Structure 1
Amino acid sequence: MVDAITVNIGVTAPYYALENLRVSDDGATAEFVAEQPMDNEVGEIAAAEVGRHLAVLGACALAWSNPKKEKHYYVASSAVLKNVAKGGEVGKGAFSGTAKILFFDKRYGTISATLMTTQGDPLYELETHYHIMSVPLFAKLFHIKKQEFECNPSNNPYKKQIPLNDVRYSDNTISARLGPLKPEECNGHFCSFPCIPVAILMHSLSRTAGKLLSKVIGEPGIRYTVVAAEVQAYNFAFAGEVVNMIVTYSGLEGGDHVFACKAENNDGKLFGSMLLRLSCSKTA
């Protein structure tokens, strides 16, 4: 049953990294471990990686409920992530997740998901909206981006930090360049159509915002916690494309530092945007 679900969600290992997946009419649950380097973000798992695993878990729940038991692409179009941790000992990078379907039809889906410690304490909540595309529709839309690339489950690029290049500051704004990435750096997302996962793009934007936070605060390498993120995904950034990131500091709001983030190509085509809330941390 599990294998039948995982082959129908569009993404594959190593991007798919859920363990002990269980699906039912009530939703889906799974376990996973943290892989992504944190840079200056505080915690046992990067907030963007939380989005990665929970969004994949949500896709599994939708695939289980889809009456057409065949491969579809469950493409995240927007998401809201909230840090709901109450403090205390988190653990050593092992987590569990649950996902419940809020809406589903043949073209769209919405899930609500929660990341928890192995003791069952909630850490993050995520609501994700998806476009659901059949394989023929996906291939028709992106046929010019198809590449002869076979996914290799044993090559995991998500354990490595992607460099931020050409970092520049101007007043309360920072810009940086990501990539262009090679197909193998998008391994498992998606085979034959390798593109940068939203979670990786948003993690890069968060790291860029963290650099700007250090400059705003006047403390190099300041540690921060991701409080919340509102994400919009507009276009895929395929392997080989340059991604320019622009982050602007909007000021303090309720004790959080707020940033407006966007990622675009050299022609100004928008890949995605994010409203990001960070809090400074004294954690060493």
Structure 2
Amino acid sequence: MNDLIMVEEPYNILENVNFSPNETVTAKVQNEYSLELEAGSMGCSEFGRHIAILGSMAVAKSFGHKDKHYYLAIHADLKRKSNSTNHSKFFHLKAKTLIAKKRTARIYGEIRDDENELLFAGTVEYQAISQPVFSKLYSKHKVDNPKYKLVSPYINRKQLTNIDIKDECIVGTYSKVEPCDCEGHFKDFPALPVAIIGGLFGELCMPLFKYHNPHLTKILSKEVIINAYRLAFTGEHVTFEGKIDRRLPNDSVKLIAYAKVGDEIIADAHFELQAVYSPELVEMATL
């Protein structure tokens, strides 16, 4: 089934993919990347990356397409189910198709550690586009013989620059999207994966949260809702904006973030983040 979806290594690093008769697909994966401030044994955006890929495999099987398709993730609602920070060599994924009709689909997915503890669960929605239609729609973004680096861009990632915090707002720049930023997504039409944009949202919003809570040591992503309105292709310049939307009890906050190409919003995210303090700070606060 992998040869019917359009994502490849190094973006797709799923192992031991197995299809069950009940519209369910399982796999295992190693964690490649963690945000500096995010607590937990895997980051929320990395869960989004892997479950979106596995979910596209489940959707491809449910649709029964005989030719290659692009399964574009257009919406995801990801929830943290555990605050565990246990190290796990492999994480175990499961995705099940909930709906697959016409050109849209939705899956449920979850990830567990080696101790079978549920870490994240969520849903992802897709738009299915055949290869010929996709090629016609995005012909101007086709890149012939794109140049790639030897190191995976999903391990050594390009960071945001020009980060500026003003009160409860923050901005940052990703600059121009290069083919080497998108390797494996997609071969002839390199586009920045939505899950990577989700990670950049976290890279933007977590420092803003820490700016207003300077004594926190780590941050838990309790829930992330991402909407993707279109792809960001090679040559386009992407900027990010974020702001605090609402403060919650228990040292938590809701934030909203936007990714833009020019003035056009290409994706947005709604975060619920919770502060984690070191035991030493908690002890001092109770004295």
Cα separation, partners in 2 of 1:131 and 1:202, compared to 1, 3 Å:
same
TM-score of the pair, normalised by structure 2: 0.91
Q: How does 1:143-158 map to 2 (within 5 A)?
A: 143-149=139-145, 155-158=151-154
After superposition, the C-alpha distances for 1:64-84 in whole angstroms (9 at most, x for unaligned) are 222222210000010100001
Cα distance in 1 for residues equivalent to 2:171 and 2:19: 42
- Secondary structure of the 2:268 match is strand
Are 1:237 and 1:271, in contact at CA under 8 Å, matched by a contact in 2? yes
Counterpart in 2 of 1:259? 255
Q: CA deviation at 1:160?
A: 1.2
Q: Give the Cα–Cα distance (whole angstroms) in 1 for the partners of residues 173 and 206 of structure 2.
A: 15
1:201 aligns with 2:194: no
Residue aligned with 2:257, SS? strand
What's the counterpart of residue 94 of structure 2?
98
Q: Which runs of structure 2 are paired with 1:58-69 in the superposition (5 Å)?
A: 58-69=55-66
Report the CA distance between 1:163 and its aligned residue.
Answer: 1.5
Deviations 1:132-171 (A, max 9, x none): 0000111111111111135869641100132111111222
- Distance apart, 1:119 and its partner CA: 2.2
Which residue in the other structure is 1:224 paired with?
219
Code of the residue aligned with 2:130 in structure 1: it is S
Distance 1:283 1:14 in 2: 35
Q: Which residue of 2 aligns with 1:248?
A: 243
Please give the secondary structure, in 1, of the residue aligned with 2:145. coil
Matches within 5 A, 1:1-284: 5-26=1-22, 27-85=24-82, 87-88=83-84, 90-149=86-145, 155-219=151-215, 222-255=217-250, 256-266=252-262, 268-282=263-277
Supply the AA of the counterpart residue of 1:100.
K
Cα distance 1:236–1:170, how it changes in 2: closer, same or farther (>3 A)? same
TM-score using structure 1 length? 0.92
Q: Distance in 1 between matches of 2:89 and 2:273?
A: 21
CA distance in 2, matches of 1:189, 1:253: 37
Cα distance, 1:89–1:216 mapped onto 2, change above 3 Å: closer
How far 1:195 moved relative to its partner?
0.8
Unmatched segments (≥5 aa) in structure 1? none
Q: Which secondary structure state, in structure 2, belongs to the residue aligned with residue 206 of structure 1?
A: helix
- How many residue pairs get aligned? The number is 277
Cα 1:104–1:154 shift into 2, 3 Å: farther
Letter in 2 for 1:149: N
Cα drift, residue 47 of structure 1: 0.9
Q: Deviations over 1:1-52 (max 9, x none)?
A: xxxx111111111101100000123210000000013221112212101000
**Residue type of the partner of 1:201?**
I
Q: Report the more deviating stretch, 64-73 or 102-111.
A: 64-73
The root-mean-square deviation of aligned C-alpha atoms, in Å, is 1.8
